[in-house]
Amino acid sequence: MACLEKMSDELVLEGVEMLARRSNEITAELLAYLIEVDERGLHLREACSSLFAFCVERLHMSEAAARKRITAARTARRFPRVLEMLACGEIHLTAVNMLAAHLTDENHGELLARARHRSKRDLDKLVAEIAPRPDVASQIVALPEPVGPAGVVAAGVGLEVRAPERARRAVVAPLSPRRYEIRVTVDEATHDKLRQLQDLLAHSIGRDPAVIVARAIDVLHEKTLARKAAVTKRPQREKAAKKRTRHIPAAVKRTVWTRDGARCAFVDGKGRRCSATSGLQFHHIRNWACGGEHTVDEIELRCHAHNQYQAVLDYGAELIARRRGGSSRAREPCSTERRARSMRSDEVVPGRSSRWAISATCTRPGSWPRSAR
């Protein structure tokens, strides 16, 4: 392996792209071989009762990796176009697995084309469109108290040893076009406030938690936009600053936020724009310390990583690291898009609990009913 530390940035990026292409090609080729092993029953001569056992016991794949590749291989056997798209990097294994149960002779061409270069979040919406699920019933369910780590059993004393309860993940998942399931766990204080809101709003918008959550999101969304981006229905005229400060006028913030579409405006050398919409900051194109002004033409939205990246380009990595007391490297955002298990309980568990699971179905923002606004 070549010494990566001595390579130029261009060579590193070229190497990554080349290896990604090779990885896609090898994945497609592996699936083609798995198809042959499956059709010929070659796993049997290797003392494996199934293709799954062959992948786990002979190829030393994890159970999850084996299932994903077997599903993709059998889907590709039905629709050879899948292998071509995998080899070209137009579709990934996760996409094939998500679409496998929905592909038919009639629709596979269209669905595979629509899945091209799509993220899992986009594919969730696509699956919800072609196989819509009914709305989940709004419910508030008391959860058992969390179990602490298993203790040490004292001599002569019988103790029940229980494994710690696995934390429930929050869920925001599409059910059908413009309909989403939202499931979260809240503390007792939040639960009590929700219950009180149900009582207070019973004669106006009803007791449905989904409607109350939609209205609460509307209020918080409006307040947060006003605080972060100065977006408000009643903008006020600001007085001109008497001296040069770092304060960006509200009118400039509003215009920049709208112009950049609430998205990082960084564009690379190939004309590709950053897709980040989280942690956005107002960035001076001409550095403020070097005379940049608070004008619409000199300010754009940047995510934290690209704002920091620009600072490194302007001032150097060593100075930025020293000023910030740590590394100047941008951190990759952590993905929170995980699919949780479906909660099927429709009953409220009796007894007092300090943790509550709230599940509701909401429409897509901008299409909520008038009563929820």
Rounded Cα distance, 173 and 121, in Å: 9
The answer to whether the beta carbons of residues 328 and 321 sit under 8 Å apart is yes
Which helix (H) or strand (E) is 322 found in, with range? helix 317-324
User: What confidence score (pLDDT) does residue 353 get?
Assistant: 52
Rounded Cα distance, 321 and 310, in Å: 13
The region, left, alpha or beta by phi > 0 then psi within -120 to 50, assigned to residue 273 is beta
The answer to whether the beta carbons of residues 266 and 274 sit under 8 Å apart is yes
Taking the alpha carbons at both ends of the chain, their separation in whole angstroms is 59
Which DSSP string do the residues of 249-292 spell out, in sequence order? Answer: PHHHHHHHHHHTTSS---B-TTSPBP---SSEEEEESS-GGGT-
pLDDT band at 6 (very low <50, low <70, confident <90, very high): confident
Rounded Cα distance, 109 and 28, in Å: 18
pLDDT at 125 over 80: yes
User: What confidence score (pLDDT) does residue 287 get?
Assistant: 83
Q: Provide the 3-class DSSP secondary structure of residue 58.
A: helix
pLDDT band at 155 (very low <50, low <70, confident <90, very high): very low
Which DSSP string do the residues of 64-120 spell out, in sequence order? Answer: HHHHHHHHHHHHHHH-THHHHHHHHTSS-HHHHHHHGGG--TTTHHHHHHHTTT--H
User: Which residues neighbour 314 within 8 Å (Cβ) at sequence distance 6 or greater?
Assistant: 287
User: What confidence score (pLDDT) does residue 149 get?
Assistant: 53
Rounded Cα distance, 56 and 63, in Å: 6
User: Which residues neighbour 98 within 8 Å (Cβ) at sequence distance 6 or greater?
Assistant: 120, 123, 124, 127
pLDDT digits (tens, 9 = 90+) for 168-182: 678 888 999 989 999
- Beta-carbon count within 10 A of 207 CB: 14
pLDDT at 346 over 70: no
* Mean pLDDT score, 26-37: 97
Structure tokens at 146: 């969390």
Rounded Cα distance, 314 and 324, in Å: 15
pLDDT digits (tens, 9 = 90+) for 263-278: 999 999 899 999 999 9
Q: Which of 74-88, 149-163, 190-204 has the lowest mean pLDDT?
A: 149-163
Which DSSP string do the residues of 328-368 spell out, in sequence order? Answer: -SPPPPPP---PPPPP---SPPPS--SEEEEEEEEEPTT--
Structure tokens at 67: 């299932």
pLDDT at 261 over 50: yes
* Mean pLDDT score, 198-213: 92
User: What confidence score (pLDDT) does residue 243 get?
Assistant: 76
What's the CA dihedral at 38, 57, 92, 271 to 10 degrees? -140
The phi and psi torsions of 76 (rounded to 5 degrees) equal -70, -30
User: What confidence score (pLDDT) does residue 341 get?
Assistant: 33
pLDDT band at 323 (very low <50, low <70, confident <90, very high): confident
Tell me the whole-structure pTM to 2 decimals: 0.71
The answer to whether the beta carbons of residues 206 and 197 sit under 8 Å apart is no
Residue with more model confidence, 3 or 260: 260
pLDDT at 298 over 50: yes
Rounded Cα distance, 361 and 136, in Å: 6
Calculate the alpha carbon distances from 75 to 23, 42, 105, 121 in Å: 19, 19, 12, 21
The answer to whether the beta carbons of residues 51 and 33 sit under 8 Å apart is no
